[in-house]
Structure 1
Amino acid sequence: MKLRNWQASCISKALKHYLNGNSHFLALATPGSGKTLMASQLADQLLKNDLIDLIICFSPSTIVSQDFSQSLQLIINERFDGLLGAKGHSLTYQSLQYLDRDFWLLFDRYRVFVIFEEIHHCAGSTIDNANAWGEQIILNIQNKAKYTLALTGTPWRSDNTPIVLSNYMPSNKISCDYVYGLSEAIQDDVCRVPQIFAVDNNNITVADGIEIKTFSSFKCLLSESIVQYQEIIENEKVVKYVISSAHKKLNLIRVKNSDAAGLIVTSSVEHARQVSELMKDCFNEDAAVVTYRENEPTSIIQQFRHANTKWIISVGMISEGTNIPRLQVCCHLTNIKTEMHFRQVLGRILRVTISKNQEAVMYMPAEPKLLEYAHRVKQDIPFEADVVKFENMIKPVKANDDELGKAITFNKVKGVSSNKGLELNGANIGYTATSVSNSTEEDFLTSSYEKVVNIFGKFEQESLALGVSELSAPRL
């Protein structure tokens, strides 16, 4: 399999790093650039040169773990199921806490190469500041593995704790052994140039009893903490407009790419269900829905990857590491507002394919933090490009759909809000991104993205179930 230039360069540097006596290598590569293939090829070369005996891979979710397993098995041409005689195993980070002494003895008896996908989920420079996954890595892997490879597309944590196994410069920036950014990936035709559409409004009215307040943008509205962002992304009119624009764009792309697909990232299971119903009622589209409440969420993602279905709706299940190349449009309708999550969601639509149309389009409300992240993405583009655009919410997306242009009623009664009363008309075309601190939103999906995949939600339940099944078979 032909490697991209950056992949070959990274492998060469990682091999030299290892032969020079180093035990850890951190590679930063932009989402969608092909980290899985690079790591698999490196593992293959280490095996062929008799530098290692076994390979263990850890990933943040079941779907990514399965993808790594398949890639390693294909490249190495050996079984990679963790059973006797296999060359290794691919596990979730959650399983770290349930591996027994017999498993860890492998590191004493064999030369083990460990791959950490999306290493930023594992925190800790010492046991004192480590999270659950980082603690296990420090105790059982850090000084025992023959060689470790850490991969990330977003090398930071929202809680500002250090990433496990990493070194930091005096400026508190992480020290990477290899860097392949979005700018380089676009120049090499590895990643697409994104377009980010921010939906805003310059005539917002909030009725609180007899008091009526008007606002000129979402930024102004949110700065006074009268309406939380959660209420905006769950407002039917806002959601309908954002999805209408995205749906229209996807249909245009599918004229050339018949299998192109879209991703809608929502804030909760209930929110996902509501969006699914809206897709059916307004656009006659049966979207796939993947949340922790589905019986087999990994199977849903796998089926969607190879299907022709237009849309998939997710709550934290399709973000980092999940490879669905046909995704080209996404809607950011989640209340997770960290830059890491923003870039990981955007990364799902950036992977270049052989299709004729290579557009990558994200739609989102014009929330200040998200706009700040969008403008930072623009700075990563290696040439002048109109990356961030603004869409007028007042105009109907379809000529016969005047509902999208009507006012939305949103009443606030004694601080308790309903989904009716936010009157939206007009649009703010000349919006400038500015960071604004909103009121604290105490929700398990908003506290931080790391917590979603690290402690709470489906990732804990799904990975725990997988961890049990992984450990039930005879292991290496």
Structure 2
Amino acid sequence: MQLRQWQSKCIKHALKLYTQQNHFMCLATPGAGKTVMAAELARHLLDAGKIDFVLCFSPSTEVNEGIRATFSKRLNKRFDGLIGSVGNAYTYQSMSSLNSGFWQLLNTHRVMVIMDEVHHLKGHEYANANAWGEEVLVNIQDKAAFTLALSGTPWRSDKAPIVLSRFTEPDNTLHCDFIYGLEQAIADGVCRTPNIALIDNDNIHLNEGDERSVFNSFSSLLNGSSLSYSALLHHPQVMLYVLKLGVEKLSKIRELNQKAGGLIVASSIAHAKQLLSYLVDDLAQSACLVTSHMKKPSKTIEQFRHNNTQWIVSVGMIAEGTDIPRLQVCCHLSRIKTEMHYRQVLGRILRVDASPNQAAWLFTLAEPSLSDFAQRINVDLPETTVVLEHQNTETIDISLPANKYQIESSFNDNATNAVSLELSQSKMREPVTKTRDMEEENNYNLALLGGFKERIVQLFG
């Protein structure tokens, strides 16, 4: 398989720098093909006789399976850690369980260590390191023949330093030895052009105890009341409207590409089950669920990667590094509101494949932070963003129960603190489950009476 131009350039630059230093940091936009680049760089070093083994570390077993497959194919050698193999992939979480005999390999042989999504590793010294970062400082730093750090989002939400990283003066920004941004990836045909729809509502009525308030946007609701973003994500009308937009867009894409799929990023397992129910029972979609509580989540992801199911609903299982090129639509309904997570989720729908329709759509609520993240993508795409305001004037065909019912929920799936969210509008079936994942302790009556609207952020319009 021929390398992409950026991969060849990165490998050439890394080989040059490795004559002067043993660490290389590559920033490449999610979906660009960092794993293939890393495998080919390792192959060059193996062929040149500069290393004996390759050890890869990543955040999840799902990512590791992809790493093993890619490295085995590109190196034409076993990559499973068994006798005769040239290396293996491990999770960061497993580092602490690896014994001294394992780490001794770095003292007796020339080992290349590759750290995928390196932003998970915190600290440039023991005093400020997290558990995973400390393992690198103790067992890998100054012992590996070469180290390669990979990331699509080279920062941490807590602004802490990343392990083995260098910083430039005087602004103290992270130094990357090679950068391949989203703008260039789109221009090269490596990544799809993303479109981001920010969903809002202009007439929101909230009863909080004896107090009645009216808001003209989700932003004003969240800033002007004690209602949380998590509670908003669990409002049935909100869930159904976001899902409906995603379903309509995926259906349009599948007119040309019948294999196209969609991803729903949920806030919790209970939330994911409710979203799955809406997809299947209300919107007549084929869908599957993948969570960390399942016995074999990797098998579910692998089946979805190759089958024709329309949607996969996930709780944290398909966020970074998971390669499913047929994903082209995503509904972001997670309560996580960090830019790193936001960009990683967006990256799941940007991988180019051979299908005739390469559209990529991300649907989120117009929550202030998420709106800011959408606009900051413009930093990667200067002078080419087109922002359109679109008002939905049609009557919303999503109704709620005529009789009031209470939705009991809690901050996590097993907690007991309950909240009741009272809704009263026209017909809708009783919910399949009355559990929801919200963080409220008060009772609310929330009615969305206005028209929903979508602000479309078209990148490379």
Contact 1:28/1:151 (8 A) holds in 2 = yes
Tell me, in whole angstroms, the C-alpha distance in 1 between the residues paired with 2:163 and 2:231: 36
- Distance across 1 between alignment mates of 2:442 and 2:97: 44
Q: Which residue of structure 2 lines up, in the alignment, with residue 381 of structure 1? A: 381
Q: Tell me how far 1:419 sits from its aligned partner.
A: 7.1
Deviation of residue 219 (structure 1)? 0.8
Q: Could you give the per-residue CA deviations for residues 447-476 of structure 1, whole angstroms, max 9, x where no partner exists? A: xxxxxxxxxxxxxxxxxxxxxxxxxxxxxx
Question: Residue 334 of structure 1: SS of its match in structure 2?
Answer: coil
Alpha-carbon shift at residue 385 of structure 1 (Å): 3.5
Q: Which residue of 2 aligns with 1:26?
A: 25
- The TM-score with structure 1 as length reference comes to 0.85
**1:338 is matched with which residue?**
338
Aligned to 1:423: 448
Q: TM-score, normalised by structure 2?
A: 0.88
Alignment check: 8 A CA contact 2:290 2:317 kept: yes
Is the 2:199–2:455 contact (alpha carbons within 8 Å) kept by the matching residues of 1?
Answer: no
User: Which amino acid is 1:69 matched to?
Assistant: R
Q: Which amino acid aligns with 2:157?
A: S
After superposition, give the CA deviation of every residue in 1:109-132 in whole Å (9 maximum; x if it has no partner): 100001110000010110111001
Taking structure 1 as reference, are residues 383 and 359 closer, same or farther at Cα in structure 2, changes over 3 Å only? farther
Aligned to 2:191: 191
State the SS of the aligned residue for 2:79.
Answer: coil
Q: Which residue is 2:437 aligned to?
A: none
Instruction: Give the equivalent residue in structure 2 for 1:72.
Output: 71
Aligned 1:259-270 pairs, distance under 5 A: 259-270=259-270
Question: For 1:404-423, what aligned pairs fall within 5 Å after superposition?
Answer: 416-418=441-443, 420-423=445-448
What is aligned with 1:216?
216
Secondary structure of 2:354's match? coil
Which position in structure 1 is the counterpart of 2:82?
A: 83
- How does 1:293-442 map onto structure 2 within 5 Å? 293-381=293-381, 384-386=384-386, 388=387, 392=391, 395-396=394-395, 401=397, 403=399, 416-418=441-443, 420-427=445-452
- Determine the structure 2 residue equivalent to 1:448: none
**Counterpart residue type for residue 322 of structure 1:** T
Question: Do the aligned partners of 2:197 and 2:361 also contact (CA within 8 Å) in 1?
Answer: yes
Residue 295 (structure 1) shift:
1.1
C-alpha displacement at 1:193, in angstroms? 1.1
1:283, distance to aligned residue in structure 2 (A): 1.3
Q: Distance in 2 between matches of 1:163 and 1:362?
A: 29
- Contact 1:28–1:178 at 8 Å: present in 2 too? yes
Q: How far off is 1:421 after superposition?
A: 2.5
* 2:14 paired residue number: 14
Provide the secondary structure at the position in 1 that maps to 2:352: coil
8 Å contact kept, 1:31–1:321: yes
Going from structure 1 to structure 2, the CA distance change for 1:310 and 1:390 (only over 3 Å counts) comes to farther
- Once the two structures are TM-superposed, the CA of residue 425 in structure 1 deviates from its matched residue by 1.2
* CA distance in 2: counterparts of 1:362 and 1:429, whole angstroms: 12
1:422 maps to amino acid? A
Cα distance in 1 for partners of 2:455, 2:295 equals 46
Which residue is equivalent to 1:119?
118
Q: Deviations over 1:125-182 (max 9, x none)?
A: 1011100100000000011000000000000000111000001123121000000000
| Aligned-partner Cα distance in 2 for 1:431–1:35 | 29
Amino acid at match of 1:403: S
Q: Deviations over 1:70-98 (max 9, x none)?
A: 11100111111101221011111111111
**Aligned counterparts of 1:274 and 1:290: Cα–Cα separation in 2:** 13
Q: Distance in 2 between matches of 1:237 and 1:36?
A: 40
Structure 2 residue matching 1:403: 3-state secondary structure: coil
Would you say the 8 A contact 2:241–2:398 is kept in 1?
no
In structure 2, how many angstroms separate the alpha carbons of the residues matched to 1:95 and 1:160?
A: 25
Aligned counterparts of 2:64 and 2:454: Cα–Cα separation in 1: 43
Quote the Cα distance in structure 1 between the aligned partners of 2:303 and 2:232: 32
Write the deviation string for residues 156-214 of structure 1: whole angstroms up to 9, x where unpaired: 00011100000112312100000000011011111111111111011111012332111
Q: Deviations over 1:25-57 (max 9, x none)?
A: 000000000001000000111100101000000
Percent of matched pairs sharing the same residue = 47
- The residue type paired with residue 253 of structure 1 is I
Change (3 A) 1:391 1:341: farther
For structure 1, the residue ranges without an aligned partner over 5 or more in a row are 433-476
Question: Is the CA contact 2:288–2:313 (under 8 Å) kept in the aligned structure 1?
Answer: yes
Match of 1:206 in 2: 206
Is there any run of 5+ residues in structure 2 with no aligned partner, and where? 406-420, 424-439
Larger RCO: Structure 1 or Structure 2 (Cα < 8 Å, ≥ 6 residues apart)?
Answer: 1
C-alpha distance in 2 between matches for 1:175 and 1:169 = 6
Partner of 1:467: none
2:124 and 2:163 in contact (8 A); partners too: yes
Checking the alignment, whether the CA contact within 8 Å between 2:206 and 2:445 is kept in structure 1 is: no
The question of whether the paired residues in 2 share the 8 Å contact of 1:262 and 1:311 is answered with yes
Q: CA distance change for structure 1 residues 393 and 314 in 2, over 3 Å: closer, same or farther?
A: farther
CA contact (8 A) 2:197 2:456 kept: no
Q: Which amino acid aligns with 1:51?
A: K
Match of residue 141 from structure 1: 140
1:284 positional shift = 1.8
Q: Tell me the residue number matched to 1:168.
A: 167
Deviates more, 1:35-44 or 1:374-383: 374-383
Instruction: Check 1:389–1:417 CA distance in 2 against 1; reply closer, same or farther (3 A cut).
Output: farther
In the TM superposition, what is the alpha-carbon distance from 1:391 to its structure 2 partner? 5.6
Aligned residues: CA RMSD: 2.1
- Contact 1:229-1:335 at 8 Å conserved across structures: yes
> How big is each residue's C-alpha offset from its partner over 1:249-272, in whole Å with a ceiling of 9 and x where there is no partner?
000000101100000000000000
Task: Tell me if structure 1 keeps the 8 A contact 2:204–2:446.
Answer: no
Counterpart AA for 1:144: K
Shift of 1:226: 2.1
Contact 1:201–1:393 (Cα < 8 Å) also in 2: no
3-state SS in 2 of match to 1:45: helix
- CA distance in structure 1 between the partners assigned to 2:455 and 2:264 by the alignment: 26
